[in-house]
Each structure stands twice: as C-alpha cells, then as structure tokens.
Amino acid sequence: MGIGKLAFLEFVAEAVDGSNGVAGRDRAIQGDYFVSRRLGLGFVKPAAWHFHAFEDFEPMLAGNIFVEGSVMDGADFSVYGSDLVVVVSKSPLGSETEVEKAAVGPSIAICSTSRGKEDAKDDLKTLVSQTIDLSRDVLRDFLILEPPRFQMISMCPAARFTSQFIMEHSRTMPTLVRVETLVIDQGACVYSINLTDLPAIGHTAAPEFDAFVGTLHLA
C-alpha cells in the first residue's frame, strides 16, 4: 500500500533539497518538512509549528491520571514513547510552570505500530474499534463526537473520527480535551495520528490539521 517508492523518493528529494536541517540515515527535518525513510513516512507540518521528540513531552505526560485511578509514570511513558514517531505543536513546550497552567496548545502526535503475526489479518474497522475501546477503557468520560469516516490517504485505507474526554493530571485541574484521530493502515504498520486541542479555552487547530493531512506521504 502507499504511493510507491518512486513517488516517495521524489517527496524525499523535495524535503531535503539544499538541506540545512537535521538529517540522518533514518529521518530528515528541513524547515516544515519531515521524512522518515525507514518508515516510508513524510509530511509538511503547519507553518510556525514546532517539532518535538517524545522526551520533550515527559514533564507534561508524567502524572496523567487514567480512569481507574493509576498515574502515568516513567515505565508507562517509555511504552508510549516506543511507538511515537514525532510530535508537532502549535506553541513551543515551555517550563513545568507552563505545563501546570495548562498553557500547552494544540499538538499532533504521530505513532507507528508494526503489525505482529497475531494481528496481521485485522482489517481497518477492527483496528479502529480496538483504538476506540482502549480509549474508552483508560480515559475519563470518553465520548465519540463524530463516528469513523473511512477514506483513502496517500493510497492507504484510513479512518478518521473525533472524540473528547476529561484529561486529569496530578498537577492541573481537569480539562476537556478534544481529539481528532486518524488511523491509517499502511500494511506492514499502522499509524495513529492524533490532533489534541483544548476547545474550552479556545486552543483549537482544525484547519491546520486538515492541511497537515493533505501533506501526508506514505510509501
């Protein structure tokens, strides 16, 4: 599945042309472009947004409280981070004081999970159902606002749905969070892409997310 090797390499060439950014054997970041050759993934982030490694989010995520009362710790973060490819955020992440004030704005988190033998035959509807069931199990007052809409993205089957939940954190007041989720079946792996924003305080980014989705390139 995907756009094919040649079309993807053309995007890679465009992304790294005259590169003054960060480049390596696996990935390259140049301006607003991101490319992972290993995953066959490329996109253009919204202008003036910021790239982050998953470690940058540890102060914010550590302390999240799940529905059964458990609190995210370093081990939980390591498991989550193992699937996280990259995060882009509208505002730069700041100090812990800003985190405590819930001043972090909209962000897009991109996760990639390799298919194992046990789930190799799962179709997209099953994958989406599993994603929703897991969210319902761990997130407080999880609610589907818009049910899954199935489509093709970069010639891969995809589903997009909108949800909300109450984010609880050991250092902040409970906050209403809205999530636009995109699940993409690339064949060898499955992508889960989440736009998280805070509509209650006016921190939203739906137009930016729509534009971002239009730039996705999957080999």
Domain ranges within the chain, ordered by starting residue: 49-202
- What are phi and psi for residue 50, nearest 5 degrees? -125, 135
Which two structure tokens, joined as six digits, stand for 192?
């889960």
Q: 52 or 93: whose pLDDT is higher? A: 52
SS3 73: coil
Q: How far apart are CA 178 and CA 141, in angstroms?
A: 12
Residue 134 has pLDDT above 70, yes or no: yes
The answer to whether 91 and 60 are in contact (CB under 8 A) is: no
97: pLDDT confidence band, cut at 50, 70 and 90?
Answer: very low
SS3 166: strand
Q: How far apart are CA 191 and CA 195, in angstroms?
A: 13
Residue 115 has pLDDT above 90, yes or no: no
Which two structure tokens, joined as six digits, stand for 75?
């081990």
Average pLDDT, integer, range 57-78: 53
Q: What is the pLDDT of residue 75?
A: 47
What percent of the chain clears pLDDT 90, i.e. is strictly above it? 33
Q: How far apart are CA 39 and CA 26, in angstroms?
A: 8
CATH of 49-202 given 3.40.50.720, 1.20.140.10, 3.40.1000.10, 3.60.20.10: 3.40.1000.10
Q: What is the pLDDT of residue 119?
A: 61
Residue 68 has pLDDT above 70, yes or no: no
User: Helical H runs in the chain?
Assistant: 5-16, 58-61, 74-83, 96-100, 124-138, 206-214
Kindly give, in sequence order, each residue whose CB lies less than 8 Å from that of residue 200, ignoring residues fewer than 6 positions away: 175, 176
- What are phi and psi for residue 38, nearest 5 degrees? -60, -40
Query: pLDDT tens digits, residue range 6-51?
Result: 787 777 777 766 554 454 556 778 889 999 888 889 999 999 998 9
Kindly give, in sequence order, each residue whose CB lies less than 8 Å from that of residue 214, ignoring residues fewer than 6 positions away: none
Q: How far apart are CA 146 and CA 149, in angstroms?
A: 8
Average pLDDT, integer, range 163-174: 77
Q: What is the pLDDT of residue 44?
A: 96
pTM of the predicted model as reported, rounded to 2 decimal places: 0.81
Give 3-state DSSP helix, strand, coil % of the chain, rounded to 5.
Answer: 30, 40, 30
Residue 219 has pLDDT above 90, yes or no: no
